[in-house]
Structures are given as C-alpha cells and as structure tokens.
Chains A and B, each alone.
Chain A
Amino acid sequence: MRLTGMQKALWAAAGIAVLAYATLLRDTDPSPGIVADAPFRPTFSLPDETGRLLSPSDFGGKHLLVFFGFTNCPDVCPTTLAEVAQVMDDLGPDAGNVQPLFISIDPERDRRLGLADFTAAFHPAIIGLAGDAAQTRAAADSFRIHFAREDDAAASDGYTMSHSPALYLIGPKGDWLRQFTYGTPASEILADLRSRL
C-alpha cells in the first residue's frame, strides 16, 4: 500500500497524539506500584533450617512460588502447601524451574517445632525459611504483605497469627509476576506456570 503525503502526515500526527496521551496517563497514574519501566522486585534474606542465608538471587533463575505462613496453622497453611505440592508433582520435568518457598511469619516457634520436617511432609522441593524478627518483617514489607501476632488465651502458646494467605510468583530475574489468591485450584496455578516456562 502506498500512502499519499497527506496520509503520512495524518498517521504521524495520530502517532504523536497516542504517545502524548500515553505519557500523560503514565505521569498522572496515582498508584505507586507496578509500571513497566520500574519492575517490582520484592526481596528477602532469610536462613533455611541449616542456617544458610538465602535471597531471591540464590535460586539460579528459577521462578519462585512464595507463601508466608506458620506451621501451627491447621487449615490455611496445609491446604495451600498441599496445592503447591500437587503443582510441583504435576509440573513433571518443568518442576526443576520452579522453587517453592515457605517463609515463616512465626519463626521462633517454627524453628522449635521443626520447619524442614513440616515442608518435606508436603513436598521435598519446598524450602522453609525462618529468620529473626527483623529479617521476617523486612521480607513481609518488601512483598507488601501483612502479618500480625494475635494474643488468644485459648490458642496454643497463647497466640495465633493472622497473615496474607496468597501465593506470590516471582520471575527468574526477581520481578513480581502475580499472586494466586487463597483457594486458587492447583490446576489453575499449574496452567499459569506452564504458560511461562
């Protein structure tokens, strides 16, 4: 197709208008979150049960499937870890490209009860991380998630934890890709991962 001089000028004008509008939109976007040129890279520096300090860059470019929870949790945490285990099994050979992480928001008690035994009971690929109070708070803040200790005389040890129950997917370069809200079926998580690997 050959364009006349007038058509070229009109297309150029339209292009400039689109660019200008896009710039305007971006500059007035009130959300501080995720814009294309500023990837959100949540981070952590937490020890596993052997004391080895691990950060997102220590996983050799794998996708990270991150869950914040506590092992004294009878309902939400086992349900989610059971789903993660199912996803890892169903990934087959692709499982080597995904690292599931369980970050304890109740690290002192979880270390005492044994974190590695707990995660291994669901799937041997899951790594449990439990830091000190400051490391744990820093990781949660970086992921912009909530957790809090709630005193409850009727609970084990007199307290329980409230926490964000979603699963977070981090890409090979450390970019936050998406979250899977609590209750997302394993099949849906699997399909999403398959589309990325």
Chain B
Amino acid sequence: MKALAFSAILTLTASASFACETVTLGDLTIQNAWSRATIGAGRPGVLYLEITNNGGTDDALVGIATPAAGMPMLHETVVSDGVASMPHAMAVPVPAGQTVALAPGGYHGMLMDLTAALKEGETFPVTLMFQAAGEVTVTVDVLSMRAEGPDCADAGQ
C-alpha cells in the first residue's frame, strides 16, 4: 500500500522538471535538487542540492525526510590522507550570506532503504529541516546514473 501511494506521487509529478526551480523558506533559497537513478532498491540513493542563505543569521540543515527512503541521512564524503570515508553529518552549516552545496564529493543526503528504485525522469519530494528556518519540501529530479548535475542555466554557480 505504501509502495502504491508512493508510485502515485511519482506518476503525478513525473511530467515536469523541478531541479531548476527555486524554493524559498524565509531567507533561504533551495535549488538544483537532484538524485541519481538506482538499479533496484537494494543500494542507497543520493540527494544533492544547493542552499543559499540570503539573511544575516547562520542556519543549518539538520535533517531530511522523504517517502522515497526509509532511512535518509546527511553524510559527508571526507578524503583524508588519500582515503575516502563517509561519516554521518549531524548538520550541514548554512552560514549567513553564503551558498552551501550538497554536491558530489562533499555533503550529500544518503537515502537508505529505498522504497522503490529511483528511475531516471521521475521526481520525489524531500523535506528539509533547518535549525532556525523550519521545514520546507522540495522536489528532486532523478537524473541518469551518469549525471554529474542538473542542466540548469544557473547551475554550478
């Protein structure tokens, strides 16, 4: 039943592309939310996006939730002395006046226990929880496994 409801969400939102849309929450803007397609649901998915803090007060991303995964968590890829590890990140700092990217090789959302395989061209919602600004839900575009980012005019700023 849960899977069925989830497919309905996917179907309803599959026709549009959202990654290049900007979502606003107070002084925060969130854009370029994307993920990679997965083969089956046995391996974790990933979540990347950009957060800009236009305000004068520091904030932090402290949690993520999504119907697409049973256990979504924030992680950070750390390469130290030539070894990559992926510790759990308690929070992603979003300092005043700065843009922070969850991007390949750095902070990212790790979507464990996927509800279903993530298919290229589909979308799914993710709710972002900020320490100060509260919660906001963004729509994540599932790109190909080979994607290195969404193809937006203002991407990679």
Q: Which residues of A contact B (CB under 8 A)?
A: 71-76, 78-79, 81-83, 85-86, 113-114, 117-118, 121-122, 146, 150, 152, 154-156, 160, 162-166, 182-183
B85 at the interface (CB under 8 A from A): yes
Q: How far is the CB of A118 from chain B (nearest CB, A)?
A: 6
Chain A residues contacting B113 (CB-CB under 8 Å) are 156
Partner pick for B86 among A83, A114, A146, A160, CB 8 A cutoff: A160
Q: How many A-B contacts if CB must be within 8 Å? A: 82
Chain A residues contacting B46 (CB-CB under 8 Å) are 74-75, 78
Once the chains are docked, how many angstroms separate the CA of A78 from the CA of B43? 12
Given A79-B104, A182-B105: A162 in contact with B39 (beta carbons within 8 A):
no
Q: How far is the CB of A181 from chain B (nearest CB, A)?
A: 8
B152 at the interface (CB under 8 A from A): no
Of all chain B residues, the one with the shortest Cβ separation from A113 is: B42
- Count how many chain B residues have C-beta atoms less than 8 Å from C-beta atoms of the other chain: 31
The answer on a CB contact under 8 Å between A162 and B45 is no
Chain A residues contacting B112 (CB-CB under 8 Å) are 155-156
Known: A74-B36, A74-B45, A74-B108. 18 other contacts (CB 8 A): A72-B43, A74-B110, A74-B111, A75-B86, A76-B77, A76-B104, A78-B46, A79-B105, A82-B145, A114-B39, A118-B39, A121-B145, A121-B146, A154-B71, A156-B43, A156-B44, A162-B84, A165-B79
